[in-house]
Amino acid sequence: MRIILVVATVVAMGCGTKKNPEACCVDEADCAGVGLPVGSTCDDGLLCRNNRCVELSCSSSASCDLLAPYCADGLCQEPCTDDAQCPGFGQTSAQRFCETAVCVECRAAMNDCGVAAPVCDAGTCRKCELNDECNSGVCTADGSCAAETSIAYVAPAGSASSGCTRNEPCSFARALDPGINRPYVVLANGSYQFAGTRDLDGLRSFIGEKGGRPRLSNTMAGPVFKLGSGADIAFDNVEIRGATSTSPSAFDGNGIECPSNFQKSTVRVSRSVFTQNSVAGLLARQCNVEVRETTFVANARGLEAVDVMGTIERSTFALNTGIGISLDAGLYSVTNNFIYRNPRGIDLNLTTAGSVFEFNTVADNSMTGVSCVANTGQFAFPNNLIGGNGNNIDPQPPGCVFSSSMIVAGDTAPLKFKSPSSIPYDYHLTPGSIAIDQISTSTQVRDFDGEARPYGNGHDYGADELH
């Protein structure tokens, strides 16, 4: 009977074996099933297969099995010990490196991955997602790392005449010179002060080098940056600050100004800060806007947009002296944002069907949390957390529907915000909040921090999903 069992094992595994008469089992359930004591394991060099201890002989890893996939010294074994044993049984030719006892595609910090999927993540090559995952400092829209030849490298004390290379960085003004004309500008950490507004045209991305956040300001009156007609400009990991107006009636003290023009421009901002701008951190008029993971703090207005298509997500609008967000006409998606401690949180003056305002936390704005005017049709705004404002929603015409949001008119203590009353203010939820696990369905799958929704028995109201 034992000989028959061993022969069956040989057929199933496709490997030569040397029978060992000792029976074995691999876990408590397996041991109970065959009536063996727990801990009935095999001697060194033998593997438990079909409750028998066997040696698995091999000529290459291709002749092993999934449970002992690597061929070493003529025997199949569970761990690999050398790159020559890779790939193991059932693995692809890309898994060519033995790392921590298994064959993987790539090793950390070894440049094993190709151009199309340049990042090594837990032994697997994938597309880049962040600029700081690339040695060049730039992750492109298709998930590849940009070549240094397409990047102008800039430093606060950079040369006005160099080639803007990594070894010889140039000044900010030099990077904009038509003779340089590269789509990506990587800024070394430090302070960049311009004597006048910088006009931006064409297609270009400005990226703060990892390990810091470059500060960009205009020492004269007017915007720090102004977009030209048809421009498509991106900012990542920068701070834009301190813009002042040319006159009390000019209202041009904006960090970034994207004015009305006959060819709509686009401004894209991520992981950045707008602060101490005397009018708006970002002003967009008929200029499409994408804002992600960005903080607008201590401006007169955080973000003001008029008649644009806008995406605003996972961002913070706090302590601005006038209003956090003002959206007038246009089509907007506003999700997973914190809007707190402004006089007015957000103004929604909507004219186009399809705008989204969902999973935002609007709290402790002294005058109004949400001001909503629906000029055409009806707009439903579910899953927001609104509380502690002077007026939570004012006005609320019939076209603005917040019935699927949590609105707390009185004491907000049951919401259990992390630190709502002292610096640094923090409106994340803490255990025991009445906002937790209250929503059964939603199309949103991430929260302010990029963590998964739902977590637990349901979605949580507001920008934070407690994990």
Alpha carbons 334 and 341: distance in angstroms, whole number: 18
The per-residue pLDDT for range 389-438, each reduced to its tens digit, is 999 998 766 788 998 999 999 899 999 999 999 999 999 999 999 999 99
- CB-CB contact of 238 with 271 (8 Å): no
| Pairing assessment for the beta strands 288-292 and 266-270 based on DSSP bridges | parallel
The per-residue pLDDT for 51 is 86
Average predicted confidence (pLDDT) for the chain = 91
**Cα(344)–Cα(64) distance, rounded to whole angstroms?**
68
Work out whether the CA dihedral 265, 356, 425, 422 comes out positive or negative.
positive
- Lowest-confidence segment of 33-42, 216-225, 319-328, 455-464 by average pLDDT: 33-42
User: Could you report the per-residue pLDDT of 254-266, keeping only the tens digit for each?
Assistant: 999 998 877 889 9
pLDDT at 21: 57
Cβ–Cβ under 8 Å, residues 402 and 393: yes
Give 461's Cβ-side CA count (13 Å radius).
25
pLDDT at position 45 is 62
102-157 per-position pLDDT tens digit: 999 999 889 999 999 999 999 999 999 999 999 999 999 999 999 999 999 999 99
Share of the chain above pLDDT 70, in %: 94
- Label the pairing between strands 102-104 and 97-99: antiparallel
